[in-house]
A = this chain, B = another copy of it.
């Protein structure tokens, strides 16, 4: 009995950086960025060699967050992204605002381009990408992560989306008494109902609790996640939740999207800044499917309002009169998220 209660395993092997399989990857000055050791190594290299040209490969949150720090160290920064636009988990129209902003700060951005080689002799000196060769004294690899699911695969445990370990709502794998949780595991998307691989700390934390409770004899579940994410990119705040247009297209979901431009707080205040809010709604059911935000200080965490509405399965017309907090220091009279919601009145009809 004692033995049986403890005869279970939780696989929490996490994820590892996705690295390009190209010539010159072993040169000095090329760093993945996944943990504190990586960041310490990057910092030490910058202090020792004072690189002039920095190249960031991958224009997701991690890559773009690195840019600010590289600028602060006096680097000229180039971003190389293989997708057609930066912030590939957002839609191009919203990502474009970030693109223009970063360009205005002197950052070069190369999209639709994969790195094909790094050139040394010993330390990295050049990056070959797309049709160009670019100077590079330091390279940050921020191309995303791969689940450490090898141990599971080798023992016959089923894998799922993104090659991660397939788990159900109780974090059970295909093998009895073996659980998985965190960046090595799949999760269900609450809006699409699909199995997805969206490795995030928030999800890992929730999955860990569920796996632990169930492994200890409890009975709890994680129904799913929304893939809510947020990032500060220099002065801009960027956030998303639920499905993007691109994801809707892949899933064959018919949708209507609306985007508004507004301000983060009363425009007569010195720290008021612009904010874009995009909402995506299912055409037939009127169900909210997702949202994206780009804007200045105070913009990003407004995504939580959208995430909460998604979590409760709200239809857009149920949200028209949302009573959000207003005072000039925090918002304009009608919160930008509610302005975005009300764009659907004319499209969906009133109530």
Stretch at the interface among A11-19, A152-160, A198-206: A198-206
Using Cβ atoms and an 8 Å threshold, which residues of chain B touch A301? 298, 301-302, 325, 330-331
Q: With an 8 A cutoff between CB atoms, is A335 at the interface? A: yes
Using Cβ atoms and an 8 Å threshold, which residues of chain B touch A309? 308, 312
Q: With an 8 A cutoff between CB atoms, is A212 at the interface? A: no
Using Cβ atoms and an 8 Å threshold, which residues of chain B touch A307? 305, 322-325
Using Cβ atoms and an 8 Å threshold, which residues of chain B touch A231? 327
Assuming the A-B contacts A230-B327, A312-B309, are A223 and B321 also in contact, with contact meaning beta carbons closer than 8 angstroms in the complex? yes
B322:A311 contact, CB within 8 angstroms? yes
Q: With an 8 A cutoff between CB atoms, is A217 at the interface? A: no
B223:A335 contact, CB within 8 angstroms? no
A202:B334 contact, CB within 8 angstroms? yes
Interface residues on A, range: 35 or more
Using Cβ atoms and an 8 Å threshold, which residues of chain B touch A254? none
B206:A300 contact, CB within 8 angstroms? no
Partner of A333, one of B201, B224, B351: B201
Contact with B along A319-351 (1 / 0, CB 8 A): 101111111011101110100000000000011
Q: With an 8 A cutoff between CB atoms, is A247 at the interface? A: no
Using Cβ atoms and an 8 Å threshold, which residues of chain B touch A326? 200-202, 228, 230
Partner of A304, one of B222, B226, B239, B304: B304
Q: With an 8 A cutoff between CB atoms, is A7 at the interface? A: no
Number of copies: 2
Q: With an 8 A cutoff between CB atoms, is A31 at the interface? A: no
Q: With an 8 A cutoff between CB atoms, is A221 at the interface? A: yes
A330:B300 contact, CB within 8 angstroms? yes
Q: With an 8 A cutoff between CB atoms, is A303 at the interface? A: yes
Point out which of A201, A229, A304 has the most chain B C-beta atoms below 10 A from its C-beta.
Answer: A304
> In the docked arrangement, what's the CA distance between A308 and B312, Å?
9
Using Cβ atoms and an 8 Å threshold, which residues of chain B touch A227? 323
Contact with B along A283-316 (1 / 0, CB 8 A): 0000000000000001011111101110110100
Point out which of A200, A228, A321 has the most chain B C-beta atoms below 10 A from its C-beta.
Answer: A321
Q: How far does the Cβ of A247 sit from chain B's closest Cβ, in whole Å?
A: 15
Using Cβ atoms and an 8 Å threshold, which residues of chain B touch A239? 325
Q: With an 8 A cutoff between CB atoms, is A220 at the interface? A: yes
Q: How far does the Cβ of A74 sit from chain B's closest Cβ, in whole Å?
A: 22
Assuming the A-B contacts A334-B202, A350-B220, A351-B220, are A228 and B304 also in contact, with contact meaning beta carbons closer than 8 angstroms in the complex? no
Nearest to A264 among chain B residues (CB) is: B301
Within residues 200 to 252 of chain A, which ones have a CB less than 8 A from any CB in chain B? 200-203, 205-206, 218-232, 237, 239, 241
Beyond A202-B326, A228-B324, A300-B325: 17 further Cβ-contacts under 8 Å? A223-B321, A224-B321, A228-B323, A228-B325, A228-B326, A230-B326, A230-B331, A231-B327, A232-B327, A241-B325, A304-B325, A305-B307, A305-B308, A307-B322, A308-B308, A308-B324, A311-B318
16 contacts between A and B (CB under 8 A): A61-B327, A205-B334, A219-B350, A220-B350, A221-B351, A228-B324, A230-B326, A230-B331, A232-B329, A301-B325, A304-B335, A305-B307, A307-B325, A308-B324, A311-B319, A311-B323
